[in-house]
Amino acid sequence: MLTSIRQRAIGSYVLLFGIFILLTLFHRWGLVNLLTVLLGSFWATVFLAWLTARRLITPVEQITSAAQEMAGGVLDTEIRVQGEHELDELAWSINYMARQLRKNLFLITEERNRARAILNSMADGVIALDKNGRVILINPVVESIFDIKEECWIGTELIKVIRNHELEQLFIRALQDMQPVLNNELQVLTPEPRLFRVQISPLKGAQHKKMGVVGLLTDVTERRKLEQMRTEFAANVSHELRTPLTSINGFVETLLDGAMEQPHVAKNFLEIIHTEGKRLANLIDDLLKLSRLEDRRTILHKQPVDLADIIHNTIKMFEGLAQDKNIELTEVIPSDLPPVPGDFGFLSQVIVNLVDNAIKYTLTGGKVNVEVTFNQQSITVTVSDTGIGISEESLPRVFERFYRVDKARSREMGGTGLGLSISKHIVEAHGGKIKATSSQEGSTFYFTLPLD
């Protein structure tokens, strides 16, 4: 049995040569004429050629088409060839190559998926640029920070994807020097103003080949805000404590210097000292109350509370003050208002606080309205005024301790600067929510308490 292609080819030639010799001999002996010799040789050649083609070309074609499929990405086809030894080997080699490719591809995909999963679940933004400054990679955090809607950012310039000149400058600097670049406060304006810490490092390949840069963006808005709040809190507490103390000290000194001898002056001074002392006590009370509420050390005495009652009382309490400023103080309370589980004392304090603020910050001739609405789950109390309003920057901060929209004005009007902060903690301790909105026409504060 001949199996190799070379042996088969030699065999075919020998066979053909034999037939040719035989036919020539037959002709010489006069057994056949010249035409038969020619025709016989011709047909013998055609037959052998056909035989070779069938045994050789068909498997090659099979291998070719399978290889093409593999090139197209279908790696699980196996080539099955029967017959020639060399072709068998070729087919086996190709099959082996496909198997190896399949294995490597799986490993690479796995690796890539892992890298992608890490990038996607990072809390920080990642931006990578190639050495020409074109985007290679942006993770979803960056997409949401800059509100990127484009799906195809690969290969585009950074400024087209993220329209922030400063950020681009940082990246350009890192790309030029191939040195790490750090910026602690990059301001990003849209969609919301935020602050970022940007850290850019060069990407170096083998033999320190310049490959590009990768930048890490960390949101530091909250941290900066907390730092600021802490500094402000310390400054504010000392200021609020010192103001009454200074005036008490001043008047006591004047009294000691001789004012004591004049009884009517002394009485006047002592009254002032008394008021300032009370203010100091109030402030300290508020601070203690707030710290207890913050620590959740305060125990609420929950019982069914009729909010209508609290609101009536509050409005009665402020009627005089409202009349002095010519402010129209109104209430809208549904008659079938259900009682809400809560602490009567604390809830009264919230409502008194909100109405007090509303009257304070409404100019003469304005309106203050207290309205209650309810549904099956909750009760909402809304206190709206036609006052001076609160700017957008201040709005999220009004519930912070000692935050004052306008420092000078608020202190003139008295108050400790803790009212809204305490209210917020009380409402939250009841499982509710408090919010403020403001527009040109005035501010609205509302809080919601759950009914069950």
Angle at 197 between CA 165 and CA 116, to 5 degrees: 90
Residue 413 sits in the site that holds other proteins (CB under 8 A): no
Residue 389 sits in the site that holds other proteins (CB under 8 A): yes
Q: Cβ–Cβ contacts within 10 Å for residue 387, how many?
A: 21
Cβ atoms of residues 387 and 437 within 8 Å: no
Residue 230 sits in the site that holds other proteins (CB under 8 A): no
Residue 164 sits in the site that holds other proteins (CB under 8 A): yes
Q: Which stretch binds other proteins (CB under 8 A): 12-20, 115-123, 136-144, 402-410?
A: 402-410
Residue 193 sits in the site that holds other proteins (CB under 8 A): yes
Cβ atoms of residues 342 and 302 within 8 Å: yes
Q: Which is nearer to other proteins, 274 or 407 (CB)?
A: 407
State how far the Cα of 164 lies from the Cα of 215, in Å rounded to an integer: 14
Q: Which two tokens stand for residue 92?
A: 């086996």
Q: Which is nearer to other proteins, 404 or 433 (CB)?
A: 404
- Backbone torsions φ then ψ of 138, nearest 5 degrees: -140, 130
- Backbone torsions φ then ψ of 71, nearest 5 degrees: -60, -35
Residue 417 sits in the site that holds other proteins (CB under 8 A): no
Q: Which stretch binds other proteins (CB under 8 A): 82-90, 186-194, 224-232, 237-245?
A: 186-194
Cβ atoms of residues 311 and 351 within 8 Å: yes
Residue 151 sits in the site that holds other proteins (CB under 8 A): no
Strand-pair partners of 210: 204
The DSSP output letter for 208 is G
**Interface pick for other proteins out of 375, 376, 377, 439 (rule CB under 8 A):** 439
User: How far is residue 103 from each of residues 100, 158, 242, 404, measured CA to CA in Å?
Assistant: 5, 36, 75, 66
Q: Which stretch binds other proteins (CB under 8 A): 82-90, 118-126, 256-264, 392-400?
A: 392-400
Residue 82 sits in the site that holds other proteins (CB under 8 A): no
User: Which residue shows structure tokens 């068909």?
Assistant: 58
Q: Which stretch binds other proteins (CB under 8 A): 22-30, 153-161, 198-206, 342-350?
A: 153-161
State how far the Cα of 100 lies from the Cα of 113, in Å rounded to an integer: 20
How near is the Cβ of 148 to other proteins at its closest, in Å?
11
- Backbone torsions φ then ψ of 363, nearest 5 degrees: -75, 165
Q: Which is nearer to other proteins, 6 or 163 (CB)?
A: 163
**Interface pick for other proteins out of 69, 124, 130, 157 (rule CB under 8 A):** 157
Q: Which is nearer to other proteins, 261 or 392 (CB)?
A: 392
Residue 190 sits in the site that holds other proteins (CB under 8 A): yes
Q: What is the DSSP string of 117-181?
A: HHHHH-SSEEEEEETTSBEEEE-HHHHHHTT---S--TTSBHHHHS--HHHHHHHHHHHHHTS-E
Cβ atoms of residues 372 and 311 within 8 Å: yes
Q: Which stretch binds other proteins (CB under 8 A): 1-9, 160-168, 229-237, 287-295?
A: 160-168
State how far the Cα of 177 lies from the Cα of 411, in Å rounded to an integer: 53
Residue 408 sits in the site that holds other proteins (CB under 8 A): yes
Size of the site for other proteins (CB under 8 A): 26
Residue 28 sits in the site that holds other proteins (CB under 8 A): no
**Interface pick for other proteins out of 141, 390, 418, 427 (rule CB under 8 A):** 390
Residue 393 sits in the site that holds other proteins (CB under 8 A): yes
How near is the Cβ of 166 to other proteins at its closest, in Å?
8
Residue 160 sits in the site that holds other proteins (CB under 8 A): yes
User: Which residue shows structure tokens 């957008």?
Assistant: 392
Q: Which residues bind other proteins (CB under 8 A)?
A: 157, 159-160, 163-166, 168, 187, 189-190, 193, 388-394, 405-406, 408-409, 438-440
